[in-house]
Amino acid sequence: MTLADRTINEKRDFIRIRVNTPVSFTITGKTERYEGHCRDLSGAGMLLETEKKLVSGNQLTIVIPSERPEFSHLNAKVEVVRVEKNKALHTYCAGVTIKQIQP
């Protein structure tokens, strides 16, 4: 992708990177842990695919484990901004905005 392509095709502040990595998360105020996959990631948010039905406005704590010992896990507080049902896979795709990266 060239800078010109980005200007035309990608009008976001951060370029999204396609990934397929496991994620665990909790909903703020609850103790149950859920699993899913991060399908894309940017500096401002991510696309989370999960069997758990989420709704816009949910606040989550997400952990993306590191595959390399020299790097720490990604721990973040996020907010769900949109949810779409994937009927074929019986999952939900949630667009989330990263609110805070935690140490």
| The predicted structure's pLDDT at residue 10 | 53
For residue 60 the two structure tokens come to 């989550």
**Band (3; pLDDT cuts 50, 70, 90):** very low
| The predicted structure's pLDDT at residue 8 | 43
Q: What is the 3-state secondary structure (H, E, C) of the chain?
A: CCHHHHHHHCCCCCCCEEEEEEEEEEECCCCCEEEEEEEEECCCEEEEEECCCCCCCCEEEEEECCCCCCCCCEEEEEEEEEEEEECCCCEEEEEEEEEEEEC
pTM (2 decimals)?
A: 0.81
34-61: pLDDT as tens digits: 999 999 999 899 999 999 999 999 999 9
pLDDT above 90: percentage of residues in the chain? 69
Residue ranges of domains in the chain, CATH in brackets: 16-102 (2.40.10.220)
